[in-house]
């Protein structure tokens, strides 16, 4: 008897629920021995309980082998909701994205975003694009070290320690905001190593480090320094580097010049959206948030409130995320089956969701892929 996996199942809000339902049609058709455990997450719990990622869901994620996550809505709150949350959470009314919290809480430091153009997809920018983005997932501008208003203490310290800060030193705390970009040696090295390890394992030829070290000298300088250090351990893989602005143009100009890309958190967020668009857009952007103990897999698109309840959006991003989950669990054969079935449905072109120019529903796409499983 094969191992029985415990899979956290976190649909969240809006179309998150729908795309996970479609992915389940595929998973259920596989010989994958798993128990799916529902976890509460999302806007509803922020409004009702003052916490979008309740402690019981954190406990659940501590128990499971891996998790699938849909999407979360965040929107301005109604007056009554505001009051309730203020009461529940005291003064802290800042909504922090639960997925960002989850990445940090569980140290899911690798955000792995493969962007592969499947033949026959009418949305491919060019045929045969096959890029893999490694995005640092816990620090950088996502560290959450932010001040608005800026406390006097911080202003005094910065006035003392930073010459350029002189330009801001006479502002009132409420008239500016500070978000800190925190990159560590450890955090930078481990994401770059993950990218090189992937390249070595999968016969990839080149790793491109994305940065802006010519301007953001401290934080990006350190990222680049660590990248160069780690690259020395992989003499057979080409080390390449590019400024984040320039690479946006070059990726459009010639995506085939690139292979594996690795970037600090925010640049990785941006680069991975561009790369997803090259292979079909939001409906095809899959991702894994991966740590040493847990992997949480999700489509990169949001909850798309305007499509909520319509079963209209493309579930392929989620199905390919499920494929990534199977791969991470070591179920390579099953992962390959899911990918082959997805590729076959895309190639055949009979079942297409609205983004692909068709009129099939989310679940029809899920079903078509499930039926193609060999
Ligand atoms: C992503 C998303 C998230 C991010 C949002 C929803 C917080 O854009 O996963 O790429 O910025 O990381
Ligand atoms: Mg994003």
For tokens 């480090």, what's the residue?
Answer: 209
Count helices and strands in the chain by DSSP H and E runs: 13, 12
Distance of CA 234 to the CA centre of its chain: 26
Quick check: CB of 97 below 6 Å from ligand 1? yes
**Residue of 12, 69, 97 with the most ligand 1 atoms within 8 Å of its CB, for mutation:** 97
Average pLDDT, the chain: 95
pLDDT given for residue 338 in this prediction: 98
Quick check: CB of 86 below 6 Å from ligand 1? no
Q: Is the pTM of this model over 0.85?
A: yes
pLDDT given for residue 90 in this prediction: 66
Ligand nearest to the backbone CA of 95: 1
pLDDT given for residue 1 in this prediction: 53
- In angstroms, what is the span from residue 182 Cα to ligand 2's centroid? 19
pLDDT given for residue 91 in this prediction: 56
Q: Indicate which residue's Cα is closest to atom 1 of ligand 1.
A: 300
- What are the structural domains, with CATH classification, of the chain? 1-115+285-374 (3.40.718.10), 130-141+182-278 (3.40.50.2300), 146-179 (no CATH)
Sheet holding 238-243, edge to edge: 34-38, 5-12, 66-71, 295-299, 286-290, 110-116, 130-136, 260-263, 206-211, 238-243
Quick check: CB of 269 below 6 Å from ligand 1? yes
Q: Which residue numbers in the chain have pLDDT < 50?
A: none
- In angstroms, what is the span from residue 255 Cα to ligand 1's centroid? 23
Q: Residue 75, exposed/middle/buried by CB under 10 A (0-12, 13-18, 19+)? A: exposed
Ligand nearest to the backbone CA of 302: 1
Nearest-10 crossing angle of helices 316-328, 362-371: 50
pLDDT given for residue 92 in this prediction: 52
Q: How many residues does the chain have?
A: 374
Q: How far apart are CA 214 and CA 190, in angstroms?
A: 22
Ligand nearest to the backbone CA of 270: 2
- In angstroms, what is the span from residue 318 Cα to ligand 2's centroid? 15
End-to-end CA distance of the chain: 21
pLDDT given for residue 283 in this prediction: 96
């Amino acid at each position: 008897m094969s191992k029985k996996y415990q899979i956290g199942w976190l649909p969240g809000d809006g179309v998150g629920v729908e795309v996970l339902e479609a992915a389940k049609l595929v998973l259920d058709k596989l010989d994958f021995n798993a128990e799916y455990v529902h976890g509460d997450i999302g806007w509803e719990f922020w409004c009702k309980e003052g916490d979008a990622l309740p402690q019981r869901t954190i406990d659940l994620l501590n128990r499971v082998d891996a998790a699938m996550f849909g999407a979360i809505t965040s929107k301005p709150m109604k007056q009554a909701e505001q009051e309730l949350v203020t009461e529940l959470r005291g003064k802290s009314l800042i909504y922090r994205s639960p997925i960002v919290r989850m990445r940090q809480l569980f140290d899911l430091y690798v955000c792995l975003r493969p962007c592969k153009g499947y033949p026959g997809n009418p949305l491919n920018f060019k045929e045969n694009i096959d890029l893999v983005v490694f995005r640092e997932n816990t620090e950088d501008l996502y560290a959450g070290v932010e001040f608005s208003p800026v406390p006097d203490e911080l202003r005094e310290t910065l006035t003392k320690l930073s010459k350029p800060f002189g330009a801001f030193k006479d502002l009132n705390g409420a008239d500016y905001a500070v978000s800190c970009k925190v990159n560590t040696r450890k955090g930078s090295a481990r994401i770059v190593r993950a990218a090189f390890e992937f390249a070595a394992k999968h016969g990839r030829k080149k790793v491109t480090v994305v940065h802006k070290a010519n301007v953001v000298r401290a934080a990006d300088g350190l990222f680049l320094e660590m990248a160069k250090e780690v690259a020395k351990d992989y003499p057979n893989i080409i080390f390449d580097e590019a400024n984040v602005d320039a690479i946006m143009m070059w990726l459009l100009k010639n995506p085939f010049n690139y292979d594996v890309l690795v970037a600090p958190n925010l640049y990785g967020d941006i680069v991975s959206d561009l790369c997803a668009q090259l292979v079909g857009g939001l409906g095809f952007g899959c991702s894994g948030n991966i740590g040493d103990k847990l992997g949480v897999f999700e489509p990169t698109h949001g909850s798309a409130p305007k499509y909520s309840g319509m079963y209209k959006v493309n579930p392929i991003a989620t199905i390919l995320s499920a494929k990534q989950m199977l791969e991470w669990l070591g179920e390579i054969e099953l992962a390959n089956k899911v990918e082959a079935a997805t590729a076959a449905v895309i190639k055949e072109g009979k079942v297409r969701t609205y983004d692909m120019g068709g009129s099939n529903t989310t679940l029809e796409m899920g079903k078509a892929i499930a039926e193609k499983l060999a």
